[in-house]
Amino acid sequence: MSENSFIEVSSEAVGRIRLLQSAWHTSEAAVIDRLLDSFAQGGRSAPEQVSRSDQLEVHASYDGHIAKGIFDLRTHHLRITDGPLAGQAFKSPSGAAMAVVRHVKPDIHNNRNGWTFWTVTDTGRPLESVRASTARRPT
Max intra-chain CA distance, the chain: 54
Lowest mean pLDDT among 21-25, 73-77, 103-107, 116-120: 21-25
Higher confidence at residue 117 or residue 28?
Answer: 117
In the chain, domain spans:
11-47, 50-130
Per-residue DSSP letters for 1-21? -PPP------HHHHHHHHHHH
pLDDT for res 50: 39
pLDDT tier at 70 (50, 70, 90 boundaries)?
very high
- Output the CA–CA distances (angstroms, integers) from residue 93 to 25, 65, 72, in the order listed: 24, 17, 10
- Average pLDDT on 70-97 reads 94
Over the chain, what is the mean pLDDT? 83
Are 112 and 94 contacting, i.e. CB atoms less than 8 angstroms apart? Answer: yes
- Output the CA–CA distances (angstroms, integers) from residue 1 to 4, 20, 38, 106, in the order listed: 10, 26, 23, 48
Strands (E), the chain: 55-62, 65-72, 78-80, 89-90, 119-120
- Average pLDDT on 8-22 reads 83
What pTM did the predictor assign? 0.60
